[in-house]
Chains A and B, each alone.
Chain A
Amino acid sequence: MPGSSPSGDPVGYRRDNLEIDPPYLVPEFKSSRLRAPRQPLISLRHTLSEVTGPVFGHKSVAGHENNLTTQHDGAPIGQRIVLSGRVLDGDGRQVPNTLIEMWQANAAGRYIHKWDRYDAPVDPNFSGVGRCLTDDQGRYEFVTIKPGPYPFANHHNAWRPAHIHLSVFGPAFVTRLVTQMYFPGDPLLGQDPVFNSVPGARARERLICRFDLEATIPDWANAYRFDLVLRGRDTTPTER
């Protein structure tokens, strides 16, 4: 069985996420205060329950779901961008056929959500939701609109920098990752408690996409590149 050790026991995933991810409690991020657990987490040796995970097939995702600019009759307002990249594991192996879901505000910084009361226009031609599966080499691509920043109730005059939410599964329940991708040079990054919840400066840099001239579409769209790196396995599985 792939991913088994010589004893037949499952090979676990590395725990380097512990040094990279934000802690649960970040006092500057107000809404973490009552939701962060106070008891220490209990270390769990990986079993079959952790190293397996849901499977996704190409039938459940329509090919056009990765294009957020063609979901309505008209074209959405804003700067069109192509966002592409790869899903890799911590050993640099591509992660094929895994589901990526994304959601974002429109160009004015507004979500179509009942809780979003920001006085910025809703765009009738933009839902802000996309999905795709990575191809056999772990690649993905979305066509969308660059989202706008928006205010949020964390502290006086707090603004979320422009960002796109990305959710990816990977091969196991423990490789699941939900993150946010930011844009280079955004002056709002410095005051954002969510971005700055990641303790390492280099790790924070990995949340920022990079401009990708090669992927731009002349006379039509700018382009950005963003790779997602998931946890890798503890040791190389035994090949049979």
Chain B
Amino acid sequence: MRHELTPSQTVGPYFGIAMTPEEASLLVPEGTPGSMSLTGTVLDGEGEPVPEGMIEIWQADRAGAYPSAPVGEGEGFTGFGRCHTDDDGKYRFLTVKPGLVPAPGGGVQAPHINMAIFGGGLLKPLRTRVYFSDETEANAADTVLTTVGPERRHLIIARVEGDTATLDIRLQGDDETPFFEA
């Protein structure tokens, strides 16, 4: 028998008392060789920063495998991170760049990080994916990225410079981030 789902409600402004231990944004310890910062600013429809937002990421490891190490137990890469945007709307994760992930039908997906954005005013999470600017060839062949119109695709491709990948999230308005119905 089908059970009817529990509806989503906003996390509201006060989730920070519970949901964002600082270390949750560090998927690998500071100073890990080959680590990558994923950072950016969350902006609203007037271009104002969104403080007290919560971003969660889920990603494969360097080899492209989704981890099964339990979160919070120090037993290796868990693939999960959570970050609280600061007073300037900024977020930052420390992680590793994921590898190519298997695609349905036997191909591969370009390296990407799955992201869910929660916050006051968001009655349900916004879901997107973060791709990388140094993966031109894999990005061009990715069956999810190519469902985004070519004129908007760059809005979910993080700019990779050295060990930092930067992507701003625009919730609304010009250059609105493409969000997925997942």
* Majority secondary structure of chain A interface residues (helix, strand, loop or mixed): loop
B29 at the interface (CB under 8 A from A): no
Q: Does A46 contact B (CB under 8 A)?
A: yes
Q: Are B14 and A113 within 8 A (Cβ)?
A: yes
> CB-defined interface of A98-137 with B at 8 Å, one 1/0 digit per residue?
0101110000000111011000000000011111000000
Nearest neighbor of B122 in chain A, beta-carbon distance: A35
Query: Shortest CB–CB separation between residue B72 and chain A, in angstroms?
Result: 3
- A residues near B106, Cβ cutoff 8 Å: 8
A residues within 8 A CB of B71? 54-57, 60, 99
Q: Of A41, A90, A103, A206, which contacts B14 at CB under 8 A?
A: A103
Instruction: Tell me how far the C-beta of B70 lies from the nearest C-beta in chain A, rounded to whole angstroms.
Output: 3
Whether B15 lies near A55 (C-beta < 8 A) is no
Residues from 23 to 54 in B contacting A, C-beta threshold 8 Å: 44-46, 48, 50, 52
**In whole angstroms, how far apart are the Cα atoms of A99 and B72 in the complex?**
11
A198 and B9 alpha carbons, distance in the complex (Å): 8
Q: Which residues of A contact B171 (CB under 8 A)?
A: 34-37
Contact call B6/A230, Cβ cutoff below 8 A: yes
Q: Are A111 and B179 in contact (CB under 8 A)?
A: no
Q: Contact: A176 with B7, CB < 8 Å? A: no
Partner of B176, one of A39, A99, A112: A39
**Considering the complex, which residues of chain A in the window 205-229 have a beta carbon less than 8 Å from any beta carbon of chain B?**
206-207, 227-229
> Among residues 16 to 53 in chain A, which have CB atoms less than 8 Å away from a CB atom of chain B?
16-18, 20-24, 26, 29, 31-39, 41-50, 52-53
Contacts of B7 in A (CB 8 A): 20-22, 179, 198, 203-204, 206-207
Q: How large is the interface on B (under 10, 10 to 19, 20 to 34, 35 or more residues)?
A: 35 or more
Residues of A within 8 A of B14 (CB): 103, 111, 113, 115-116, 165
Known: A103-B19, A178-B9, A229-B5. A197 touches B180 (CB 8 A): no
A54:B80 contact, CB within 8 angstroms: yes
B residues 147-182 in Cβ contact with A at 8 Å: 147-148, 152, 171-173, 176-182
Cβ of A231: which chain B residues have Cβ within 8 Å of it? 5
- A31, A41, A101, A194: which contacts B19 (Cβ < 8 A)? A101
B53 nearest in chain A by CB position? A35
Q: What is the total of A-B residue contacts with beta carbons within 8 Å? A: 251
Decide: A207 and B144 in contact? CB cutoff 8 A: no
The one of B114, B124, B182 that contacts A22, using a Cβ cutoff of 8 Å: B124
B16 within 8 A of A: yes
Interface centre among A15, A36, A99 (most CB of B within 10 A): A36
Instruction: List, sorted by A's number, 13 A–B pairs whose CB atoms are closer than 8 Å.
Output: A24-B124, A24-B126, A35-B50, A35-B121, A35-B171, A35-B172, A39-B152, A111-B17, A165-B18, A167-B15, A167-B19, A203-B4, A227-B6
**Extra A-B contacts (18), CB below 8 Å, given A38-B173, A57-B73, A229-B5:** A8-B106, A22-B8, A22-B9, A22-B124, A24-B124, A34-B121, A36-B121, A45-B144, A47-B144, A49-B58, A55-B69, A60-B71, A91-B1, A101-B19, A167-B15, A202-B4, A206-B7, A207-B6
A→B interface (CB under 8 Å):
7-10, 15-18, 20-24, 26, 29, 31-39, 41-50, 52-57, 59-61, 88-92, 99, 101-103, 111-113, 115-116, 127-131, 165, 167, 173-174, 176-180, 194-195, 197-198, 202-204, 206-207, 227-232
